[in-house]
Structure 1
Amino acid sequence: MADKPSVLFVCVHNAGRSQMAAAWLTHLAGHRVEVRSAGSDPGANVNPAAVQAMAEVGIDISAEVPKMLTVDAVKESDVCITMGCGDTCPVFPGKRYLDWTLDDPAGRSVEDVRPIRDEIERRVRGLLDDLDVPA
C-alpha cells in the first residue's frame, strides 16, 4: 500500500451506500486517504434521503454524481469495498477486498436511512483504524 492509501466504495447505483461511505471517509480522513466511489449500474442522481441524512451530520453530498465502475478505478485502489454489487466488481491479485452487507437506502425514507448512515460511519471508522489513519 502506498503512503497514502486509496479506497474504492462500490454499490450497484452509486447513489446511496457508496456515496455515504465515500463522504464519511473523506470527512474523517481528509487528504490522508484517496477516496473513490462507483456503481456497477449507476443511477441518475444521488438518493435524496441519503443527501438529507448526511446533511443532518454536517456532510454535504448534494453535488455528488453517480459514477460508473471501471477496471482502472479498481486497479488504482488499495482497498475495494463492495456493498451489494455481487460479482460485478473485477478482482485483481494484491488488492484487499471487503464486502459490507448493508441495507440499500433506495426508496427508503430519511428515517430509515439514518441507521444505515450510522452503520456506515461505524465501519468507516473501523477501516481507518485498520489503515492506521487517524480520524
Structure 2
Amino acid sequence: MSTHLERTRTFTAMHVPGAPVVLPNVWDVASARIVLSVGARAIATTSAGVAWSSGHRDGNDLTRDGALDAVRPIAAAVDAKGQSNAEIAAALGIGEVTVKTHVAGVLTKLGLRNRIAAAIYAHEHHLS
C-alpha cells in the first residue's frame, strides 16, 4: 500500500483540465472492491448507500461517528486514487449534480467543508 502522501500526489495529478476524475460511489467493502476491479482509479462513498447499508435512512439519520464507522473498513480495504464528480457521473451513467449532492451529503455528515478537508481528516484520524 502506498503512503498517504503518495496517494495525495496521485489524486492531485488526476485533476487535469479536459480529463476529469470520476469517483464512483460505493457503500461497503464489497462494492468498493467491485468498482475498483472494473478499472475505477478512485472511489467515493454515497451518503444514502452508507446509511441504508447501516440500517439508517439517508438525510442525517446516520450519526457522524456511525458514518465514520461505516467508511473506515472501506478505506482500509482499498487503495483508491481519486476521481471527480464528472468522472463518477460518466462511469455510472448518472448526472453530475447527483454525484455532487451525494458527495456534499457525506461531507456534511462528517462536518467537513470539502474533499481536501476530508483527506486531511482521514489522515489525522488514521482512516487512510
TM-score, normalised to structure 2's length? 0.27
TM-score, normalised to structure 1's length? 0.26
| Structure with the higher strand share, 1 or 2 | 1
